[in-house]
Amino acid sequence: MNATVKRMLPSCRSFLRSSDERPIGYSDARSIARSVQFPASDKSATVFFIDVLSRIVHVSTAIALVGGSLFTLVVLAPSSRLLSDEAQATLGDAIRGRWKRFVHIGIALFLISGFYNYFAAMPLHKGDGLYHGLIGGKMLLAFFAFFLAAAMVGRSAKLERFRSNRLFWLRVWILVAAVIVVISGFLKVRGVG
């Protein structure tokens, strides 16, 4: 054991003891867990659970779709340039076929969790013009992002221009997603106005 760890051990041990010098045990952790209160007294445990689950689904979907798109733009696209044109086309078709499922499921999860979060938050923001303006802008940007994502993985001949210039539209999609994240972060930290 090195000297730094030996010096820190007594303070760590004292931190892990309660005020009466007895070690914190399982029963202490259970009593702490039982004392946790739900943030809003008017919400039942079920509604609180659904609120948390909806937030987790919404954020996790954003992480998956934005992260996958960023990986495609920054890592996959430049690396695939080393392949022949035929190999690039084969790889692109294979990726598009798999990624399409993530995009379509992601859009559905965004819509479900997003509308739930919106309607759950509405009572807290009555008369808050800044909130409504920003959340409205966020929704419009999200619908545009959904359209772009679906156009880039779709098969419609009318939307071929999005697929033929995929890297440009992928950059636009990531920029729109970043603006949505900035708006969401601001609204979450700002709280109820």
At residue 99 the predicted structure's pLDDT band, cuts being 50, 70 and 90, is very high
pTM (two decimals):
0.73
Read off the pLDDT of each residue in 64-76 and give the average, rounded to a whole number.
Answer: 94
Read off the pLDDT of each residue in 167-181 and give the average, rounded to a whole number.
Answer: 96
pLDDT digits (tens, 9 = 90+) for 132-157: 999 999 999 999 999 999 999 999 99
pLDDT of residue 176: 97
Residue 166 in tokens: 């995929």
CB count in 10 Å sphere of residue 135 = 20
Read off the pLDDT of each residue in 37-52 and give the average, rounded to a whole number.
Answer: 75
* CA 119 to mean position of chain CA atoms: 19
To which residue do tokens 């078709």 refer? 93
Which CA distances in Å does 84 have to 76, 93, 98, 110, 173?
14, 14, 21, 37, 27
